[in-house]
């Protein structure tokens, strides 16, 4: 579960299902048939797991330098060849079953599988481009689910995807700052904190987190049904990201950055629950 970062996979599955529920509710149609629905959830799940397994395989030296004992290759619980085999199985399985999806959805799955390999190989070492890719990988499940469910994009789903993008973009800058020493030493990375410094990188991440405060409410302005529970949960997410922004700007110590990275995923999950509550 730690190799695959299973919490990320679950969040992606929730994103796909949520986009389907919101878009089909707005269109007044039913969810896709169960086999198509299960495939739609399994594809991002598998590709995400493949990407993280490959990440651990390629970053073993970096993770050791950064003392990431939560990584199973660093802790010795798994061998590198096992992680590589797991990555291959997940990638192949995810792309193979995506063949049964509409062409646009299959293209999204195939392109993001290829991009995730390229990210692990080279893209993550480039300033901003790797961060943008991670943000995009958190946003694309909403487009993916919406396209499968209705065949056309629904504005509130697009805006929810924008929230996920900005959250993932900022989160990845925090992660790059946390891991900058090992990344520079073993991968010769030129990530944003390696170029502009840890403090400035965290200031930029803080700006992105503050941007989420108004952005989180935009889906309601463009047609998503609002109720007290939905607005309350999204409000909690906004306050959490605002607090994380001030924390990132104030404290760039590794432990704080690690806590912020974990908290941001939880805050996003609460926000998604808020958007789901709009269906009540």
- Could you write out the DSSP letters of every residue in 192-225? HHHHH-HHHHHHHHHHHHHHHHHHTTHHHHTT--
| Cα–Cα dist 38/43, whole Å | 9
pLDDT at 186 over 80: no
What average pLDDT does the structure give for the chain? 93
Q: pLDDT value at position 209?
A: 97
State the residue for tokens 């007044």.
28
pLDDT band for position 121 (50/70/90)? confident
Across the range 101-107, mean pLDDT stands at 95
Residues 48 and 223: their CA atoms lie apart, in Å, by: 30
Start-end of H helices in the chain: 6-27, 34-58, 60-65, 80-98, 103-121, 129-150, 155-178, 180-187, 192-196, 198-215, 218-221, 228-250, 254-277
Position 138 pLDDT exceeds 90: yes
Give the whole-angstrom CA distance, residue 247 versus residue 245: 5
pLDDT of residue 3: 92
Q: Which class for 223: exposed (0-12), middle (13-18), buried (19 or more C-beta within 10 A)?
A: middle
């Amino acid at each position: 579960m730690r190799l695959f970062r299973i919490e990320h996979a679950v969040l992606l599955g929730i994103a796909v299902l949520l986009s389907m529920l919101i878009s089909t509710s707005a269109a007044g149609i039913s969810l896709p048939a169960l086999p198509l629905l299960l495939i739609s959830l399994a594809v991002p799940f598998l590709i995400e797991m493949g990407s993280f397994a490959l990440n651990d395989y390629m970053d073993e030296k970096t993770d050791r330098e950064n003392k990431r004992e939560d990584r199973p290759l660093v802790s010795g619980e798994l061998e590198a060849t096992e992680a590589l085999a797991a990555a291959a199985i997940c990638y192949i399985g995810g792309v193979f079953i995506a063949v049964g999806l509409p062409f646009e959805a299959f293209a999204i799955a195939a392109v993001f599988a290829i991009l995730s390999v390229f990210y692990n190989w080279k893209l993550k070492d480039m300033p901003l481009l790797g961060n943008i890719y991670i943000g995009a990988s958190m946003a694309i499940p909403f487009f993916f689910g919406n396209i499968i469910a209705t065949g056309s994009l629904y504005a509130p789903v697009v805006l929810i995807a924008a929230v996920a993008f900005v959250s993932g973009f900022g989160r990845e800058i925090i992660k790059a700052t946390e891991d900058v020493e090992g990344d520079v030493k073993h991968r010769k990375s030129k990530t944003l904190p390696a170029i502009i410094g840890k403090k400035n990188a965290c200031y930029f991440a803080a700006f992105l987190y503050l941007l989420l405060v108004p952005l989180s409410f935009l889906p309601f302005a463009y047609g998503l049904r609002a109720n007290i529970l939905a607005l309350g949960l999204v409000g909690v997410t906004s306050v959490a990201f605002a607090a994380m922004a001030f924390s990132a700007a104030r404290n760039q110590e590794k432990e704080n950055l690690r806590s912020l990275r974990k908290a941001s995923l939880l805050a996003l999950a609460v926000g998604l629950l808020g958007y789901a509550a709009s269906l009540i």
